[in-house]
């Protein structure tokens, strides 16, 4: 937590949302929300007290009593209205997001838009939360399932998609009949709060959506709380593993989407220009602060010769504040993040990788105090180097030579992470072999960032995911509901009794 400054004392406070009320926190612990391009203090965010967290859960528990019985059509119409409000406020939401997170305005709109798609999907809840029925499983007996909401669910979200990831969670949880307590990232909570306000304006009743702020203490309180039935987490592997262990120990259903080290494979038959454009965009867009950013490229065979052109394309990117026209990438989220990324670049050099492009301490006219690191490329990267072992979460791309596709697949499967990957090739056979043999959740074929649309679910394997079911799509309907299986017989008044039967049969 940073020390309060004069600017922070004057900055507006981020409110808590409890029981439909936007409340000033009673907390004595606050943190500044800082524009990463300028260091301007935009707001101060409270670390909610234990009492406030309890009040949010209690409000959600109370609201569940009526919300769970709300007709499907009523729930659907709220999300129809909500998607309209998000569209109407797109420019405002993107500006807020850019101010506190740093990504470019166009990318901020993409962040909101990918969340909006989940809201649109939630509006179709009538077709999504359907049970199954089997008629006459025995004579005169039917079996059917009910998909019932769980109760109070909680969501814990990271800083890098402050619109999309909260929208992955609460719309689907609420559309399925649950109530929700959200804890956004304390680094950029403002756009999330604006989305919560719009949700209220769309008609989400008091207590159905609650928002508290904070860090470790708040997260642990949500994991432990006996009235919370399920926890959705998106963030780093370290924190996600802790959340999974702590919340499952408390008997909750938990889904954790976690860290990454996403590899692309480039085969010699790939379309060179389009592939290089895709690699540069996916490695350096959002300053590499995407869980699906490409951070390692395996150059197979002769594609090694493409390095100078790749470097030239990366060098041509424009680094500036996200608000500036023509900016391709903005600053990192914090001074600490910049120092960490610069430290990893230094380790890469010390450990013997070849620095092809150095983005440290770039000149960004007008934004000299911003947390900028420019596109950085290393070649000759090997497992064991810190720049390969760690998720850098910055604009740093590692290039690795590979003799053939088999070697590339084995290399990727040896990495502990399994979030996203992509292959670039014109060969259907090679692409099919890749999709079959790679142990990674999201696979792109000539698509560098294959985040699924909400007709599908986001997934992940190995160290990138804990829990069976992913966010949004069909899987999240199962995550946010309890299946109840009913087997029913109705006695016909004219029928005769069959006598006592002590065997297992219907
Ligand atoms: P983070 O793990 O630091 O924070 C995530 C959440 O956990 C925040 O709300 C934060 O307040 C809370 N938190 C932080 N430290 C905690 C602690 N010690 N105990 C309990 N709670 C704590 O992640 P971040 O830096 O905000 O986000 C970046 C990470 O998120 C990257 O690793 C990225 O790959 C990952 N991510 C994954 C996905 C995915 O879908 N797999 C998507 C986006 C981001």
User: Which ligand 1 atom lies nearest to the CA of residue 260?
Assistant: 34
What ipTM score was computed for the predicted complex, to two decimals?
0.99
Residues with C-beta less than 6 Å from any ligand 1 atom = 156-161, 183, 185-186, 215-216, 219, 234-236, 239, 242, 257-260, 291, 391, 393, 419, 458, 460, 464
Residues 136-187: pLDDT tens digits? Answer: 999 999 999 999 999 999 999 999 999 999 999 999 999 999 999 999 999 9
Q: Which two tokens stand for residue 364?
A: 């960004």
Mutate which of 239, 441, 442 for ligand 1 pocket (most atoms within 8 A of beta carbon) = 239
pTM of the entire structure?
A: 0.97
Cβ–Cβ under 8 Å, residues 419 and 264: no
Q: What is the pLDDT of residue 504?
A: 85
Task: Determine the Cα–Cα distance for residues 470 and 257; give it in Å rounded to an integer.
Answer: 8
Report how far ligand 1's centroid is from the alpha carbon of 108 (Å).
19
372: left (phi over 0), alpha (psi -120 to 50) or beta: beta
What are the structural domain ranges in the chain?
Answer: 16-258+473-486, 263-445
Which atom of ligand 1 has the smallest separation from the CA of 183?
9
What's the gap in Å between 393 CA and the centre of ligand 1?
11
Q: Tokens standing for 119?
A: 């809201």
Ligand 1 atom closest to Cα of 161?
Answer: 43
Q: At what angle do helices 72-88 and 190-201 cross, to 10 degrees?
A: 130
On whether the CB atoms of residues 332 and 36 are closer than 8 A, the answer is yes
Label each residue of 447-473 as H, E or C: CCCCCCCCCCCCCCEECCEECCCCCCH
- Summarised one tens digit per residue, pLDDT across range 351-395 is 999 999 999 999 999 999 999 999 999 999 999 999 999 999 999
Distance 214 CA to ligand 1 centre (A): 13
Q: Bridge partners of 444?
A: 422
Question: What 3-state class would DSSP assign to 17?
Answer: strand
C-alpha 337 to ligand 1 mean position (Å): 13
| Rounded (5°) CA angle 236-239-242 | 140
Active-site option among 153, 223, 256, 291: 291
Nearest in space to 283 (alpha carbons), one of 449, 447, 101: 449
Question: Which pLDDT tens digit goes with each residue over 226-282?
Answer: 999 999 999 999 999 999 999 999 999 999 999 999 999 999 999 999 999 999 999
Task: Extract the tokens encoding 282.
Answer: 């996916």
- Ligand 1 atom with the shortest distance to the CA of 458: 40
Angle at 33 between CA 329 and CA 374, to 5 degrees: 20
Handedness of CA 492, 496, 499, 501 (dihedral sign): negative
DSSP string, 94-125: HHHHHHHH---HHHHHHHHHHHHHHHHHHTTH
Hey, what's the torsion of the CAs at 112, 114, 115, 118, to 10 degrees?
150
The alpha carbon of 235 and the centre of ligand 1 are apart by a number of angstroms equal to 3
Interval between CA 166 and ligand 1 midpoint (Å): 13
Cite the beta strand spans of 375-475 per DSSP E. 376-379, 396-402, 417-418, 420-424, 442-445, 461-462, 465-466
- DSSP 8-state class, residue 396: E
The best mutation among 159, 188, 236 to test binding of ligand 1, ranked by most ligand atoms within 8 Å of the C-beta, falls on: 236
d(CA 216, CA 363): 36
State residue 197's pLDDT score: 98
- Cβ atoms < 10 Å from Cβ of 277: 14
pLDDT of amino acid 8: 59
pLDDT tens sequence across 84-142: 999 999 999 999 999 999 999 999 999 999 999 999 999 999 999 999 999 999 999 99
Task: Report the nearest-CA residue for atom 21 of ligand 1.
Answer: 216
Could you tell me where the DSSP H helices lie in 17-67?
Answer: 50-67
Find residue 18's DSSP bridge partners: 21
Ligand 1, atom 30: closest residue by C-alpha: 235
> Given the DSSP bridges, would you call strands 376-379 and 179-183 parallel, antiparallel or unpaired?
unpaired
Radius of gyration over every alpha carbon of the chain, rounded to an integer in angstroms: 25
Question: For this structure, is 335 an active site residue?
Answer: no
* Residue in 102, 166, 235 to alter for ligand 1 test, most ligand atoms within 8 A of Cβ: 235
Top-tier CATH class for 16-258+473-486: alpha beta
User: Whose Cα sits closest to atom 36 in ligand 1?
Assistant: 235
The CATH code for residues 263-445 is: 3.40.309.10
CA of 260 to the centre of ligand 1 (A): 12
């Amino acid at each position: 937590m940073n020390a309060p400054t004069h600017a922070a004392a004057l900055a507006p406070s981020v409110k808590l949302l409890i029981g439909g009320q936007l409340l000033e926190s009673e907390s004595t612990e606050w943190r500044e929300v800082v524009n990463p391009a300028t260091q301007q203090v935009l707001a101060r965010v409270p670390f909610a007290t234990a009492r406030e967290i309890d009040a949010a859960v209690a409000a959600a528990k109370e609201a569940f009593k009526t919300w769970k019985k709300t007709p499907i059509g009523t729930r659907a119409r709220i999300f129809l209205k909500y998607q309209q409000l998000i569209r109407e406020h797109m420019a405002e939401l993107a500006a807020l997001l850019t101010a506190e997170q740093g990504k470019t305005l166009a990318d901020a709109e993409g962040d909101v838009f990918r969340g909006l798609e989940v809201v649109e999907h939630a509006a179709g809840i009538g077709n999504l939360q359907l049970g199954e029925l089997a008629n006459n499983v025995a004579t005169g007996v039917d079996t059917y399932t009910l998909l019932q909401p769980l109760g109070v669910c909680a969501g814990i979200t990271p800083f890098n998609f402050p619109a999309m990831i909260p929208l992955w969670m609460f719309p689907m949880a609420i559309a399925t009949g649950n109530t929700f307590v959200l804890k956004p990232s304390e680094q950029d909570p403002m756009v999330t709060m604006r989305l919560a306000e719009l949700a209220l304006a769309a008609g989400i009743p008091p207590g159905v959506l609650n928002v508290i702020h904070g860090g470790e203490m708040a997260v642990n309180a949500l994991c432990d709380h006996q009235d919370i039935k399920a926890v959705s987490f998106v963030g780093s592997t370290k924190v996600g593993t802790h959340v999974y262990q702590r919340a499952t120990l408390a008997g909750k259903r938990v889904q954790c989407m976690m860290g990454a080290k996403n590899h692309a494979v480039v085969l010699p038959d790939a379309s060179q220009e389009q592939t290089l454009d895709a690699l540069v965009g996916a490695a350096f867009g959002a300053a590499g602060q995407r869980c699906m950013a490409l951070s390692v490229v395996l150059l197979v065979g002769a594609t090694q010769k493409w390095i100078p052109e790749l470097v030239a394309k990366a060098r041509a990117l424009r680094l500036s504040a996200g608000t500036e026209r023509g900016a391709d990438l903005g600053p990192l989220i914090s001074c600490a993040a910049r120092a960490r990324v610069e430290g990893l670049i230094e380790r890469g050099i010390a450990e013997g990788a070849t620095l092809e492009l150095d983005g440290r301490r770039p000149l960004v006219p007008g934004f000299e105090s911003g947390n900028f690191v420019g596109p950085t490329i290393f070649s000759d990267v090997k497992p064991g180097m810190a720049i390969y072992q760690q998720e850098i979460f910055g604009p740093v791309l590692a290039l690795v030579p590979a003799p053939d596709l088999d070697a590339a697949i084995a290399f990727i499967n040896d990495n502990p992470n399994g979030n996203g990957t992509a292959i670039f090739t014109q060969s259907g056979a090679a692409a099919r072999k890749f999709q079959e043999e790679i142990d990674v959740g999201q696979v792109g074929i000539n698509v560098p960032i294959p985040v699924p649309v909400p007709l599908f679910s986001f997934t992940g394997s190995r160290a990138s995911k804990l829990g069976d079911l992913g966010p949004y799509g069909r899987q999240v309907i199962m995550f946010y509901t309890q299946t109840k299986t009913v087997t029913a017989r109705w006695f016909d008044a004219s029928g005769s009794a069959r006598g006592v039967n002590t065997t297992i049969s219907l």
